[in-house]
Amino acid sequence: MDRSKLITLLVTLSMIVVIAWGLNRLIRGHSMSLAEYERLNAPSGTASSEIASSDTAPSGNPEDSREVPTDSNPSGSQNSSAASGPNGSQDPSGASGPNGSRDPSAASGPNGSQDPSAASGPNEGQGGTSQLTGAALNGTSQLEQRISLTDDFYYEPLSDHLRRYITGVSYPAVDTEEEAAALAVGYDDLRYVHVLHYDFDGNSTEGELICNEYIAQDLVEIFYELYYSEYQIERITLIDEYEGDDTASMEDNNTSCFNYRVVEGSDSLSKHAYGLAIDINPFYNPYVTYEKDGTEKVSPVAALGYADRSLSFPYKIDEEDLCCRLFKEHGFIWGGNWNSLKDYQHFQKTPK
């Protein structure tokens, strides 16, 4: 084979590889891993591994990047489609939750340690390496503005990397300054919150969420108290890990806060859209509405067995529950006290 034919063949093969790669990206809906996201958004000449530890947030308008990773899930949360409900059981106390969870009373504590700041968490303070998406994207870029209760309980502004990550998912993608100004909340109103919590296996693990600055201090203090008391929350991850799908998040029993969305079945913005509401262990504490004929509508549907609050079962939030008492002490309203509907997972606080 002569040289010109060889060159032609190599060029043809290269084009085939490029086209195949492009088609694969298109089929995958332009999803990417966190590592890919970091690499593509790294400033010129910066390695992706350096992004998380950068002391300076990258410049540029976060709306300029519309591509949002969707297949990265560093927190290890399960796919919502695999979440198992009560399996038709009318007695939630005998039903398995979305993760095959067990009774929290059997959970082991931090080896007798009474101070959560002294317990060795998965992040081991600011010097550790977090596997959480938001923590990795913020890195230490917001360290100077971080407000800490302890090394593992803190809140801080959103870095440009984290802003780009949520744009088009939990935060609206807009094209003009006028559209941005019309939004109910801006990036600067939001805060990234990092906490520790005990999961359903009694293990100390990291959690993260995004909220309005107005309730950031409240959330850090509340989660600190819950951790101190070994209160169990299955997972606390960004709603973006579920592509902003609130139903998928609830089915996976994910505790979440900010999500720019409307109230289910209406055109009104939810308090979640302002970052002023949080849902705790939502699968075991469902959202219940009542139809005109008196029938109940339960969301998520698989949590039907947990809508009867006269029954006793693990992870149930009621007036006597520590979580409910702490949120009320901090001025939050509990959705379980509403008359027209019941939102047992929901706590919200409105600025005075």
Local mean pLDDT, 10-residue blocks, the chain (352 residues): 69 63 43 44 42 37 36 36 39 52 39 42 48 95 97 98 98 94 96 98 97 98 98 98 97 98 87 98 96 89 96 96 98 96 97 89
228: helix, strand or coil: helix
CA 216 to chain centre: 15
Q: Which residues of 175-191 are buried (b: 16+ CB within 10 A; e: fewer)?
A: eeeeeeeeeebebebbb
H or E segment at 180?
Answer: helix 177-181
Residue 198: φ, ψ to 5°:
-95, 130
- Whether residue 209 contacts residue 278, with contact meaning beta carbons closer than 8 Å, is answered with yes
Q: What is the pLDDT of residues 88-112, one digit of tens each?
A: 344 454 455 665 443 433 334 433 4
The model's pTM is 0.69
SS3 content of the chain, % helix, strand, coil (to 5): 35, 15, 50
Q: What is the pLDDT of residues 161-216, one digit of tens each?
A: 999 999 999 999 999 999 999 999 999 999 999 999 999 999 999 999 999 999 99
